[in-house]
Amino acid sequence: MSKTPPVVRPRAVLVGVQFPSVTDTEHAADLAELKRLVHTLGYDAVATVSQRRGALATGTVLGKGKLKDLAALTGGPGVITSGARDRTSKARAKWEAAEEDSEAEETSEEGTEATDSESEDTESEGAETEGTESEDTESEDTEAEDSETDDSEAEDVDEDDDASEPEEDVSGPRPTVVVVDHELSPSQLRNLEKATGAQVMDRTGVIVDIFHRHARSHEARMQVEIARLTYLAPRLRESSGGRERQQGRGAGDSAVELDRRKIRDRLAELRAGLAVIQKEQDHRRYARREQLRVALVGYTNAGKSSLMRALTGSEVLVADQLFATLDTTVRALHPETRPRVLVSDTVGFIQKLPHDLVASFRSTLDEALEASLLLYVVDASDPTWKLQLEVTRSVLREIGAHTVPSKLLLNKTDRLDQAAQDALRAEHPEAVLLSAHRPDDVAKLRQVIIQFFEASMVEAHLVIPYASQGRIGEVYEHTTVLNEEYDEHGRKLRVRGLPAAIARLTQAFQA
C-alpha cells in the first residue's frame, strides 16, 4: 500500500511591536496567542521578530535594522523598492535615442581633435596641482561620509533601541508568510511585502480567515463574509502587470474600482439576507422569553463548549483550538428541571477582535444580552486570564450586556496545584472553581445555576377549572408543582416559580 505523503505546512515569521504600556508578560502572551492563531490557520511559526517602540513605524511597522533582520529570514531585499513603471511614448523613445546618438558622435570628434603636444612640465605641474586638490577634496568627502554614516547609524540605534533579538528556527526552507500582531493599513502591507518578498498578513486578517473556515451554519457564513469583504475592500490593488480600464458599460473605471463596486453590491445583498435570518432568530428568542436562560461567555478556548456538553449532554464540537465553534447552540440543562433551564454557548472572544466581526455577530451576541444569567468562563491555568476576562467584559459592555446578572467560573483548575487553587479561592471567594472534565464539579455548577433561579422564585396557589385541564402542561413547564388537590371547582395546585410566570398563569386561568 502506498503511504500518503505528509502535508507540508507553510512556514511563517511572527512580528510584534511592544509598546511602552505593554509589559513583557503581556507581550509574550500576545505572541503566544498569535502563534496559536497562525497554527489554527494552517501555518507553522518558525521565527519571531520583536521590537520595543513607542508606536508602529508609519511605513514599515519596524525600524530599518529590524526590517533587515526580517528580510534576512524571508530572503527579501530589506528595503522598499518602487513599483512604478516608466511609461514613455514611442515619439519620446525615438527622440531620446537620437539624442544619445548625437552625444556619442560629438564625444568621438572631440577625442580625435585633441593634441598630444603638451609639455611634460605643464603636465607634471597640472598633475601636482590636481593631486593636491583631489587629496583635499577626498579628505573633505571622507569626513562628510563619516559624519553621514555616524548620523545614519545613530538614527538606526535610536530607532531600534531596546529591540529584542529574533527567535529563529529556520533550519528548513525559508518562511513564505509574515504575520504581524497588529492591524496594518493597506500601504503598510504593501511596503512589508516589497521589503520581505513574502506574503504579509495582519492579526485581523488571520482572525477573519479563521472565522471564514470555521463557519458552518448559513447565518454564520453570511456574518463572516460581511466582515471579510469589509476587510478586503480597502486592501484591493492592481496586479503587478496592470490591467487596462474596462470598455463598454462603466468605461473609464479601473479593475479595482469595478471590484469594489461588486463588493458593495454583494455586501448589500448579504445584509438584506442576514436581516431576514435575524428576524427569524428574534421570533425564536421571543418564544423563549419566559424561560430561564443561561449564557456561557468567555475567551476563545476557555472551555465553554466542554462545559456546554457536560451541562446539557449535547454533542457539540469540542476541540483544543481557537474559534472551534462559531454558531450559537441552545440546549436544555440535563437532567431537566422544572421550570426548564436553557443553556446557550456563544462565540468566543479574543484580544483585538475586529470591530466588523463584533458588528456582524451582533445577533449571536444578543443571546447574552437576553439571558437571565451570564457565566463568565475563564481558563484559570492561563497566567493572563484576568486580561482575557476584561476583554470579554469590554465586548459585552459594548452591546449593553454588562448589566445582566453573572457568575465567574474559573475553569481548568485540574491543571493547577492545590496552593494555586487555594490562592484563587482566597482572591475570588464568589467564583466557582471547577474542571469541565470532573463530574462532581459539573454537578456542583448545575446546583449553583438552580439555586440562582430558585432565589427569585415565589410560591402561589392556582385553581385550574376542569374545563381547562388540557392546559395543565403550561403549569408544569413554567413552575414546580409542590402540592395538588381536587374539589368541585377544579384542580388546586401549590406551585413555585418566577413572579412573571405565575402572574401570567393566574391571569390565563381566571379568564
| pLDDT, tens digit (0-9, with 9 covering 90-100), for 124-151 | 444 444 444 444 444 444 444 444 334 4
Question: Of 264, 298, 279, nearest to 219 (Cα)?
Answer: 279
pLDDT of residue 149: 37
Predicted confidence (pLDDT) at residue 287 exceeds the cutoff of 60: yes
Strand partners, 13: 47, 178
Of the pLDDT bands very low, low, confident and very high (cuts 50, 70, 90), residue 330 is: confident
- Cα–Cα distance between 256 and 266 in angstroms, integer? 15
- Cα–Cα distance between 316 and 326 in angstroms, integer? 11
Between 287 and 282, the higher pLDDT residue: 282
Which of 265-274, 322-331, 472-481 is the least confident region?
A: 322-331
Between 90 and 401, the higher pLDDT residue: 401
pLDDT of residue 258: 82
User: Would you say the pTM of this structure is higher than 0.75?
Assistant: no
How long, in residues, is the chain? 511
Between 177 and 159, the higher pLDDT residue: 177
Cα-flanking dihedrals φ and ψ of residue 436, to 5°? -65, -15
For residue 350, what is its C-alpha cell?
479574543
- Cα–Cα distance between 384 and 404 in angstroms, integer? 24
- pLDDT, mean of residues 193-213: 89
pLDDT of residue 160: 47
3-state secondary structure (DSSP) of residue 261: helix
Which of 22-31, 311-320, 481-490 is the least confident region?
A: 311-320
pLDDT of residue 447: 93
- Cα–Cα distance between 36 and 32 in angstroms, integer? 6
Omega before 175 cis (within 30°)?
A: no
Cα angle at 353 between 265 and 300, to 5 degrees?
Answer: 120
Strand partners, 72: none
- pLDDT, mean of residues 168-179: 78
pLDDT of residue 89: 66
- Give the CA count within 13 Å in the CB-facing half-sphere of 14: 29
- Cα–Cα distance between 260 and 262 in angstroms, integer? 5
Cα 282 → chain centroid: 27
pLDDT of residue 256: 76
pLDDT of residue 274: 83
CA torsion 462-466-468-473 (nearest 10°) is: 70
Of the pLDDT bands very low, low, confident and very high (cuts 50, 70, 90), residue 181 is: very high
Between 106 and 467, the higher pLDDT residue: 467
Question: Of 65, 333, 358, nearest to 211 (Cα)?
Answer: 358
275-298 burial: b if 16+ Cβ within 10 Å, else e: eeebeebeeebeeeeebbbbbbbb
- pLDDT, mean of residues 48-72: 91
pLDDT in tens, 395-405: 888 878 888 99
pLDDT of residue 59: 86
pLDDT of residue 245: 45
For residue 44, what is its C-alpha cell?
507553522
Which of 344-348, 427-431, 456-460, 500-504 is the least confident region?
A: 344-348
CB atoms within 10 A of CB 363: 18
pLDDT of residue 49: 94
- pLDDT, mean of residues 155-174: 53
pLDDT of residue 132: 46
Contacts of 440 (CB under 8 A, 6+ apart): none
Omega before 335 cis (within 30°)?
A: yes
Instruction: Calculate what percentage of the chain has a pLDDT beyond 90.
Output: 28
* CB neighbour class for 13 (10 Å; exposed up to 12, middle 13-18, buried from 19): buried
pLDDT in tens, 480-500: 889 999 888 889 999 998 888
Instruction: Calculate what percentage of the chain has a pLDDT beyond 70.
Output: 74
The whole-chain average pLDDT of the chain stands at: 78
Question: Of 333, 262, 325, nearest to 293 (Cα)?
Answer: 333
- pLDDT, mean of residues 159-188: 72
Predicted confidence (pLDDT) at residue 56 exceeds the cutoff of 80: yes
CA torsion 194-200-202-208 (nearest 10°) is: 140
Highest mean pLDDT among 94-103, 202-211, 244-253: 202-211
Which of 145-154, 273-282, 298-307 is the least confident region?
A: 145-154
DSSP string, 242-255: --PPP-STTTT--H
3-state secondary structure (DSSP) of residue 189: helix
pLDDT in tens, 209-241: 888 887 777 877 888 888 888 888 887 764 444
pLDDT of residue 314: 74
- Cα–Cα distance between 261 and 258 in angstroms, integer? 5
Question: Of 215, 206, 233, nearest to 360 (Cα)?
Answer: 215
pLDDT of residue 352: 75
- pLDDT, mean of residues 4-11: 73
Q: H or E segment at 47?
A: strand 44-52
- Cα–Cα distance between 256 and 237 in angstroms, integer? 6
Question: Of 328, 315, 318, nearest to 288 (Cα)?
Answer: 328
Predicted confidence (pLDDT) at residue 288 exceeds the cutoff of 50: yes
pLDDT of residue 58: 87
3-state secondary structure (DSSP) of residue 464: strand
DSSP-derived letter for residue 405 is: -
- Cα–Cα distance between 195 and 439 in angstroms, integer? 54
Predicted confidence (pLDDT) at residue 47 exceeds the cutoff of 90: yes
